Amino acid sequence: MLRVLTLFLGLLLAVPAFAQSSLYDALAEQTAGLKKPSSKTIETVISSLQDSGAPGVADFLTKLQSKEVWYRKSDDKFFFVATDDKKTYRLIDIQSGEVVAEVAKKEIKQIKPNSGVRAKIDGALVAFRLTDADPAVRDAALVGISRDPKAKDLAPLSAALASETDPDLKARMERLSRVLTVSFGDTTEARVAAIASFDGDLGLDARAVLNPLVTTTLKAAPEVGAGENVAKTLRLGNDISEEDAFDLLVASGLAQAEPTKGDIKAALKANIIGDTVGGMNVANLGTDEARLAAHMALAASGAVPAILTSEDKAALLASAAYYEVYAEADPAVTAAAVEALSSISTAVGVSQFIDLVLDGISLASIYFLAAIGLAITFGVMRVINMAHGEFIMMGAYTGYVVQQIIPNYTVSLIVAIPAAFVITFAAGVAMERLVIRHLYHRPLETLLATFGISIALQQIAKNIFGTQARPLTSPGWLDGALVFNDVIAISWIRIAIFVLAVIFFLGLLFVLNRTRLGLETRAVTQNPRMAAAMGINPDRINMLTFGLGSGIAGIAGIAIGLFAKVTSELGSDYIVQSFMTVVVGGVGNIFGTLAGATMIGFLQKGIEWFNPSNTLAAQTYMIIFIIIFIQFRPRGIIALKGRAAGD
């Protein structure tokens, strides 16, 4: 028993003693080099410490670098030192971090590595962090290097690459080492090879490292300097205008700046004598020619510097060579970079096109959602409902109100969708019963009456919810985006809207073509009297159909509210586009609406692509295009034919 206890105690003592001795031993071997570090000797010190594999070496080196390591004169032991009053100094154990003693300053000495040594330590530290046992530290080191790449990071990175075990980190290290090789590789061949490895690569880091290689500066000099990596020589008058060339000459100090019109005016103003300047009456100086003449007269008298004559200017311009020069001196590298960038730009173009298509699809599904309710009320029933947009708005506000009651966004969304449907369905039925029913034979007046309802509803919403936008927050799982690469990304909300649009499309197709309600709806819209004679109640069908269209608008409102702010004008922003979608697609069928939404969505994104800063212009041109399109297909993309067309 006693032996067991002694053994246990012995173990307790032995374990820390062993660990401690490790770092201490490692340091003790290099005491001389550490006490007076020089940039020549520090490398052997560091590598010996590194080889010892002792824990805490990286920490020790960090502290050494920041001049926090001292040694005790009596026994040459190293400590971290802290002080509050500069009188008593606390010695901190380099391993445990505990205060072991308090001493006066004369007993200890600070190690002050110079900048050369510190740089060496810095390089070594990178290697330490990159090979640290903790993956999080290695990750942080990689991020640090990629944020601020330096030439000295390359060697430790290559070394660490060999021993890295985590496949994800290894891939990143490998990529980062290629990025660094592009800028800092030792040989031209290595750099060219690294550059070539980025052919067609979509990463932002690749473009960030390659682009500076091919940036050029415009230069004017009597002749092209030796060793300059010229990208292009510019011919005066063809590649560079005389004005720009002259500005370049001025900038490179080869010519004096010409006075601008403003300068001439100021010079004249400064030299007015009585009411003349340069022998000309001030009142006559209302033209540029007169001012120039006066300035020349002043120059002749020496009051102002002369302006170059056009011959002098031409001679001056001809005397210099104009060329673009690469910042990178090695022609082989720049040639490889140009090639790699051109292949990258092709790949980026392809990706951007795919991204554009995705954007188009997502916009199309938004338009489709906004218009699908109309496709039923306007498209199938031929009732023009200007208040459709307000049903969308009502749906969005329903979502907002439900969120105020149920704080959990996911649950509230699940509750809000049927709630919005029920509320707008009821509103639609009420509107059909009270107003539209009386106006089936007067379509233009339906437009006006529903417009009256639209402004009333909009104002009521404004009175209740105020004019400021209300947020409809999407649940957490819809945050963020699905990222394919650095160019292609699509937010989850948009994917959800796309899915919703598909569900609506299929659902409505099913309802209209495969259910009793759909059959009766189609019968009533084609021939109400005949339908009535067959025992269908047209009033009831019209009411239900209108309610269905309105209810769908309500659900669309929630979808739209998720990415746009909910305001009382939410609906009216979409109403014209919705009608366009239905009309362009072809009135009377769901496929038409799909085609219309697709066309309008893609068209708008396509036009925006040419002029990305200006969505207003894109909308304008799109509408003009639609107006022209309707000239050629007045009945839309998918026109109903025969009896189904109705008229």
Partner 1 sequence: MNGLLTKFLLKNPSVLVFLGALALFTAFVSVGSEAFGWGFISTSFVKTLGKTLCFCLIAIAMDLVWGYCGILSLGHFAFFGLGGYMLGMWLMYARTEIIVQTAMSNEVIPPTDQEVIDAIGTQIFGVVGGSDFPMIWAFAHLFWVQLALVVLVPGILALVFGWLAFRSRVTGVYLSILTQAMTLALSLYLFQNDSGLRGNNGLSGLQNLPGLDDVSQDIVSMWFFWASAFALGLSYLLVKLITESKLGNIVRGIRDDEARVRFLGYNVEGYKLFVFVLTAIIAGIAGALYYPQAGIINPAEIAPIASIYLAVWVAIGGRGRIYGAVIGAAFVSLLSTWFTGGQAPDIPLGIYTIKWVDWWLVLLGLSFVIVTLYFPKGIGGLFDRLVRKGDA
Which residues form the interface with partner 1 (CB under 8 A)?
265, 268-269, 272, 282-288, 291, 384, 386, 435, 438-439, 442-445, 447-449, 451-460, 462-463, 572, 576, 579-580, 583, 614, 616-617, 619-620, 623-624, 626-628, 630-632, 634
To partner 1, the closest distance from the beta carbon of 453 in angstroms equals 6
To partner 1, the closest distance from the beta carbon of 637 in angstroms equals 14
Q: Which is nearer to partner 1, 47 or 459 (CB)?
A: 459
E strand or H helix at 171, and its extent?
Answer: helix 167-184
CA distance 89 to 547: 83
To partner 1, the closest distance from the beta carbon of 463 in angstroms equals 5
Alpha helices in 252-330 (DSSP H): 261-270, 288-300, 310-318
To partner 1, the closest distance from the beta carbon of 452 in angstroms equals 3
To partner 1, the closest distance from the beta carbon of 355 in angstroms equals 25
CA distance 318 to 235: 10
Nearest to 164 by CA among 147, 145, 143, 142: 142
Q: Which is nearer to partner 1, 21 or 614 (CB)?
A: 614
Q: Is 228 helix (H, G, I), strand (E, B) or coil?
A: coil
Q: What is the DSSP letter of 236?
A: B
E strand or H helix at 407, and its extent?
Answer: none
| Beta carbons within 10 angstroms of residue 639's beta carbon | 15
Q: Which is nearer to partner 1, 106 or 441 (CB)?
A: 441
Q: Which is nearer to partner 1, 438 or 540 (CB)?
A: 438
Q: Which is nearer to partner 1, 404 or 613 (CB)?
A: 613
Q: Which is nearer to partner 1, 105 or 437 (CB)?
A: 437
To partner 1, the closest distance from the beta carbon of 461 in angstroms equals 10
Owner of token pair 């006559």: 284
CA distance 298 to 304: 6
What is the number of alpha carbons within 13 Å of residue 397 lying toward its C-beta? 25
Q: Which is nearer to partner 1, 165 or 631 (CB)?
A: 631
Tokens of 49: 């410490």
Q: Which is nearer to partner 1, 113 or 586 (CB)?
A: 586
Q: Which is nearer to partner 1, 518 or 585 (CB)?
A: 585
To partner 1, the closest distance from the beta carbon of 374 in angstroms equals 11
To partner 1, the closest distance from the beta carbon of 295 in angstroms equals 12
Nearest to 454 by CA among 576, 365, 620, 544: 576
CA distance 97 to 295: 79
Q: What is the DSSP letter of 487?
A: S
Nearest to 125 by CA among 180, 68, 66, 58: 58
Q: Which is nearer to partner 1, 188 or 459 (CB)?
A: 459
To partner 1, the closest distance from the beta carbon of 67 in angstroms equals 53
Q: Which is nearer to partner 1, 18 or 632 (CB)?
A: 632
To partner 1, the closest distance from the beta carbon of 272 in angstroms equals 6
Give buried/exposed letters for 558-588 (b at 16+ CB in 10 A, else e). bbbbbbeebbbbbbbbbbebbbbbbbbbbbb
To partner 1, the closest distance from the beta carbon of 440 in angstroms equals 12
Whether 630 and 583 have beta carbons less than 8 Å apart is answered as yes
> DSSP states of 559-596 as a string?
HHHHHS-B-TTTTHHHHHHHHHHHHHH-TT-HHHHHHH
Q: Which is nearer to partner 1, 117 or 285 (CB)?
A: 285
To partner 1, the closest distance from the beta carbon of 469 in angstroms equals 18
E strand or H helix at 192, and its extent?
Answer: helix 188-197
Q: Which is nearer to partner 1, 53 or 286 (CB)?
A: 286
CA distance 288 to 547: 73
Give rounded-to-5 percent helix, strand, coil for the chain. Answer: 65, 10, 25
CA distance 606 to 355: 11
* Residue type for position 300: A
Nearest to 308 by CA among 320, 326, 295: 295
To partner 1, the closest distance from the beta carbon of 391 in angstroms equals 15
